[in-house]
Each structure stands twice: as C-alpha cells, then as structure tokens.
Chains A and B, each alone.
Chain A
Amino acid sequence: MNPLRALRPSSPLPGWGLAAGITLSMLSLVVLLPIGALLLRAAQVGPADLWAMIARPRTTAALLLSFRAALVAALFNLVFGLALAWVLVRYRFPGRRLIDAAVDLPFALPTAVAGIALTALYAPNGALGAPLLQWFGLRVAYTEIGIWIALVFVGLPFVVRTVQPVIQEIETEIEEVSATLGASRLTTLRRVVLPMLLPALLTGFALALARAVGEYGSVIFIAGNLPGVTEIAPLLIVIRLEEFDYDGAVAIAMAMLAISFALLLLINLIQVWSRRMTAEA
C-alpha cells in the first residue's frame, strides 16, 4: 500500500508517515528533480560533446579563473580566519563581542549589495581604489584582484566559525604542560595547538572554497567580465543561457560540479589522514 510503511521503524512516536511524506516530496521537488534534470540533460548530450564544449578556450579560461581565485581567497581566509578566531577567543579588548557578531555580516548581507559596495570602494575613483591606484599603481576593480577581494568577503566567516568552537574547547593545561617541558610559546602553538585545530581548519577551508567557486553576485560587479580574463564560470553559464545555448551551460555546470566534488573528496581524504596522524602521534 504505502511504500513508506515498509521502511517504518518500530517506535512508539507518531508522525513517521507525515514527516516522511513531507520530507521526501519537498526534497524531490526542490532539490532532487532539478538536479536530476541537469544530470539527464548532460547524459543526453554525452561525455564527448560535453568535453568538447568545456575544452573551448573561453570556457577553460573561465573555469580556471573561478578555481584559481577561489583557492587564493580560501587560502587567505584560512590564515586570517585562524588569526581572527584566536584573537576573538583568547584576547580581551573593548568591543570584542560586537566584532564577534559582525563576523557573520557576509552571511547576512545579500551578495548583490556586497558586489556594488565593493565596486564603489575599489573603483579607480573609489574611496580605497583611488589611493591604491595613485600610491601603488594598483588596479583592483575590473581585475582579478577585485575578484579575490569579493571572494575573501563572502568566505570570511567559514574558517572563523568552524575553528572558534575548537579553540574554546582546548584545555590550557595541555599548553601549560608543553611550556613546563621547555617548549617556547611558538613551538607550543606550532606542535601542540595547531595539530588540534587542523581538522576544523580544513573543514572551514573546504566550505569557504566551495562557496567561492560558485559565487556569482558579489563578483560580477567588480570583475569587469572581460571574456578569457575576468569572466568567471558562473557568469559564463548565465551568458550561455541568455544565448539559449542550454547544452553549453550544462557543460560548464557539470565541470563545476565535478571539480567541486573532487576537491571536497580530496579535502575529506586529507582530513581522515590528518586524524590518523594525530591518533598515531
């Protein structure tokens, strides 16, 4: 009769059928069927044609740019996020809780707002762009550096929010022991504290990277969108759709999905490996 009945676990709590019905129907309608439509279309086009479309110079350049810029931004956020989390947990200064709350601003601020705000700031006549250009000859808006800045902005909270709770839970006794045994503060941080934070750091890095690779709204205003130079992969998908080149859009989307999942898999493997290393040590 009802296929969900067969799965129903023996529990006195009611609501299994209702909850399972709502969950499965909404998950299917909102997430699974649309993604299935993408995969189906990709299968209809076939791997050879998909590859041919991905190998076009403009597409390759866009994909490379998206991943390179995402990597640069995620690496910056890895280092800065660690420093920020450390300062927020361990140091005391006026306004600390306010700063702590402000770290989530990139989650709350719509990406289009961030995009035009950053562009206004870093444009050649902007409040920060003008001095940078005059004093250092550095163009930020409409170059790849502008893309980095937008991606650093959207990825900022990830590393902080994954590492912060772990730092809070470190028992300072462990650091005391290390100091008692004669380690300098730097050695303690490097050999004792950092290994404990490594899994959380990698998780935060992966989240920031995944977010940055697919980011669209905050980037397209500041990027300049010159084909082959500052045109990111998500924008090229939008352009292909506007040309009604659905297969071209599908090819780029599949490449992005494949590379994202490969990266996430790699980071998961590194995490498993680092956990094994710390367990052995």
Chain B
Amino acid sequence: MTVASPHLLWTPPRFRARTGPTEEPRWVRILLTAIVLAVLAVLLLAPLAAVLAEALGQGWRVALASLGEHDARAAIRLTLTVAAIAVPLNAVFGIAAAWLITKYHWRGKALLLTLIDLPFSVSPVVAGLCVVLLFGAHSALGGWLVAHGFPVVFAVPGIVLATMFITFPFVARELVPLMTEQGKAEEEAALTLGASGWRMFLTVTLPKIRWALLYGVLLSNARAMGEFGAVAVVSGKIRGQTATMPIMIEMLYNEYLSVAAFSMAALLAMLALVTLGLKTALEWRHADQLAATARH
C-alpha cells in the first residue's frame, strides 16, 4: 500500500466527479450486475429448482417412497460404501504426496506434481476405459484376478478405483500450496525437542493442516459420490449390486420413471448444497488456514 498524498485526501466539492477514477459509470455497473445475475439465475438456480419441482411433482410421499425401494436403497448404500473407501485412501495419499513435495528437496518433484494433476485432463470415460483395459476379464491381470475370485471390473473394486482416479488430485492440491507456505521449521523444532516422528506429525503438522485437509476431503467426497462417467464404464450397471446413485438416476430416467429419478437426483443435489455450505463456512472462518480460498 502506498500512502495517499495530501491533495488526494481532500478534493474541492466543485471538482468531485460523480464516478471515481477507478470505477465504471453507474449505469454500466447496474446493467452489468443485472446481466450477470440474470444469467446465473437461468444457469444455476433454474436447474436446482427443476430437480426439486420434478421430484415433488406428485407430492413428497411418492418421492420418499421411491427412495425407500430395494434397488434405490442398495444404490445409496453402494455410493456411501465407495466414498467411505475412496475418500480416506485419497486423503492418505494426499498427505503423503504433499509431505514428499513440501518437506524435502529432491529431483522429480515437478514430475510428481504433473502426474498428480493428470486425472484433471483425462475424460472420466477415458479413465473408466483405462481401468477396464487393466483389470477387465480379457486382460492378463484381470483374467488372473477373476480366476482367483476377485473380479475388479463390473464389481465394487473397479468402481472404487475409477472413483479414486477421478478424485485423485483433490486433497494433494489443497495441501501442497499451504504446506509450502508453512515450511518445515516447526517440525524440525519438534524433533530437536525430542519428539518422535509420529508425535511430530500428529501434534505439529496435523493441527496446522486440518482445515485444508477437511476442505480437500469435502471436495473429493462430493465428487466421489457424484461421479458418473468413469463409474458408468466400469460398473456394468447391475441393479442392486453395482449401480451407484448417479447410475441409478440414469437407469430410472431412461425407464421414464421420472419421479424416482428426480428424487434420487434431489438427494444428491442436497449433498451438493451441504458441501457448498460447509465449504463456504470453512472459507469464511478459516481463510488464513486454507491456502486456496479463491481457487477451485
């Protein structure tokens, strides 16, 4: 910040412009704001309203009943199971990768960062295809696994793998900028004072990164529960067994079971809104402990 020179602090009323030198004319501001809000209403608000309206079209009892059906309950259970496996594993990976990248100097750091970001530039469908090619029953590895009673593709492990591929960068990307900023002096101090490696991590590092970790877990959980393209390729879409909530939405929709499809969609939309709410609360309350408040 530069200190304003005295003559800028006081301007004779006669010369005071209606518009400051760094703002647009009032009519431009009002027009631009109105346009932006109108487009957002059509683009964001309308689809949300449509989901609710379609789900509740025949009353909330019908909507709730459709969620209570056997296959719907199985889909909800499967989605929760997949997220409960994939998200913690990705969190562990994110912490380990961020530790490697931010606490040591070594060659290959940039390459590791690039590889972690790779899933962002791969289509979910291509990600699913990759898992099928590696673990499908026709491949050497997949065939061997099937023969030993552990099918991956068209089964839960494949869905977990595809989901992990898609959500792979989330936690690491939140932690790396923050931990780079934090340095390693405090960890070194803890070691000097006689703490063991685990004690140092649990009492020094973890408290410093907990909010950013939660932020990353929140984002990857939302993506994990909602992933469609990658899961669609590997799941085989067996009703009641390998159909996750998004897959179930597609199946119900294609069978013209509109209320059931939109009820399931409304449930996932609520998950999205809760995620947004928690994420925003984290950004407002712990902005200083999230390196990446204004990013993704």
Q: Are B115 and A185 in contact (CB under 8 A)?
A: no
Give the number of chain B interface residues (Cβ < 8 Å). 102
| Secondary structure of the B contact surface, majority rule | helix
Q: Which residue of B2, B133, B138 has the most chain A CB atoms within 10 A of its CB atom?
A: B133
Q: How far is the CA of A108 from the CA of B105 in the complex (A)?
A: 35
In the complex, A105 has a CB within 8 A of chain B: yes
CB distance from B241 to the nearest CB of A (A): 18
Q: Are A37 and B133 in contact (CB under 8 A)?
A: yes
A91 to B17, CA, bound (A): 18
Distance to closest chain A CB from B97 (angstroms): 5
Is A90 interfacial (CB-CB < 8 Å)? yes
- A interface residue count range (under 10 / 10 to 19 / 20 to 34 / 35 or more): 35 or more
A136 within 8 A of B: no
Q: Is A20 an interface position by the 8 A CB rule?
A: yes
Q: Which of chain A's residues 211-251 have a Cβ closer than 8 Å to chain B?
A: 211, 213-217, 221, 234-235, 237-238, 241, 246, 249-250
Check if B253 sits within 8 Å of A23, measured CB to CB.
Answer: no
Q: Which of B150-199 contact A (CB under 8 A)?
A: 161, 164-165, 168, 184, 187-188, 191, 197
Interface of chain B residues 249 through 265 with chain A (CB within 8 A): 249-250, 253, 261-262, 265
> Chain A contacts of B104 at CB under 8 A?
9, 11, 13, 16
A110 to B226, CA, bound (A): 4
Q: In the complex, what distance in Å separates the CA atom of A27 from the CA atom of B164?
A: 10
Interface residue B33 (Cβ < 8 Å from any Cβ of A): yes
What A residues does B43 contact at CB under 8 A?
152-153, 156
Beta-carbon contact of B229 and A217 below 8 Å? yes
Within the assembled complex, what's the spacing in Å between the Cα atoms of A42 and B42? 43
A34 lies within 8 A of B276 (CB)? no
A279 proximal to B (CB < 8 A) = no
Contact code string A135-161 (vs B, CB < 8 Å = 1, else 0)? 000000000000000001100111001
A41 contacts partner chain B, Cβ-Cβ < 8 Å: yes
Whether a CB of chain A sits under 8 angstroms from the CB of B279 is: yes
A120 touches B50 (CB 8 A): yes
Which residues of B sit under 8 angstroms from A102, Cβ to Cβ?
40, 44-45, 276
Question: Does B222 make an interface contact (CB < 8 A)?
Answer: yes
Encoded as 1 (CB less than 8 Å from any B CB) or 0, chain A from 62 to 99 comes to: 00000000000000000010011011001101000001
* Residue of A with least CB distance to B47: A117
**Is the C-beta of A194 less than 8 angstroms from some C-beta in chain B?**
no
Neighbouring A residues of B164 by C-beta, 8 Å? 30
A122 to chain B, nearest CB (A): 9
- Interface membership of A176, Cβ < 8 A: yes
* 15 A-B pairs in the complex with CB atoms less than 8 angstroms apart: A20-B100, A22-B96, A26-B93, A31-B165, A34-B131, A86-B32, A110-B245, A112-B246, A113-B226, A117-B265, A120-B50, A162-B295, A214-B229, A216-B229, A217-B232
**Closest A-B pairs by Cβ, 9 of them:** A214-B123, A110-B226, A34-B130, A14-B197, A216-B229, A179-B21, A217-B228, A117-B47, A37-B134
If A31-B118, A41-B133 are given as contacts, then 13 extra A-B residue pairs at C-beta distance below 8 Å, sorted by A number, are A19-B97, A27-B112, A30-B168, A38-B133, A102-B45, A105-B44, A105-B272, A108-B276, A113-B269, A168-B294, A185-B25, A211-B120, A234-B229
